[in-house]
Amino acid sequence: MMMERISRSLAMTNPFDQVLSDLYLIEEGEILSALQAQIGLSAQQRKNAEDRAVGIVEILRHDGQKIPLIDRFLLEYGLSTTEGVVLMRLAEALLRTPDKATRNQLMRDRLTAGEWRDHAGKASSALVNLSTTGLRIAKKWIEKSGGVEGRSLVARLGDKVLGLAVNQAMVIMGEHFVLGKTIDAAIKTSRKLHKSKSGKTGFCFSYDMLGEAAITQEDADRYFTAYLRAVNALVASGETFGDLSVKLSAIHPRYELVQSASCVPALTARVKELALVCKQGGFGLAIDAEEAERLEVSLMVVKNLLADPELSGWDGLSIVVQAYQRRWCFFLGSTTAISLEQTTCR
CA-closest candidate to residue 320, choices 292, 343, 346, 290: 290
Q: What is the largest distance, in Å, between two alpha-carbon atoms of the chain?
A: 73
Distance CA 336, CA 340 (A): 6
Distance CA 140, CA 143 (A): 5
Which class for 263: exposed (0-12), middle (13-18), buried (19 or more C-beta within 10 A)? Answer: buried
Q: Is residue 243 within 8 Å of residue 285, measured between CB atoms? A: yes
Q: Give the CATH number of domain 183-345; options: 3.20.20.220, 3.30.479.30, 3.40.50.11540, 3.50.30.60.
A: 3.20.20.220
SS3 assignment, position 37: helix
Is pTM beyond 0.85? Reply is no
pLDDT tens sequence for the chain (346 residues) = 445 555 555 444 454 456 777 777 888 888 888 777 777 788 899 999 999 999 988 877 665 556 777 777 777 887 788 888 888 888 778 777 778 888 888 888 888 888 888 888 888 778 788 888 888 888 887 877 776 666 665 666 667 777 777 776 666 666 666 777 788 888 887 877 776 544 555 677 888 887 778 999 999 999 999 999 999 998 888 777 778 999 999 999 999 989 999 999 999 999 999 999 999 998 899 999 898 889 889 989 998 998 899 998 888 999 888 877 888 777 887 777 777 776 544 4
Distance CA 162, CA 115 (A): 18
SS3 assignment, position 182: coil
Domain range list for the chain: 2-62, 67-177, 183-345
Dihedral sign from CA coordinates of 109, 115, 126, 53: negative
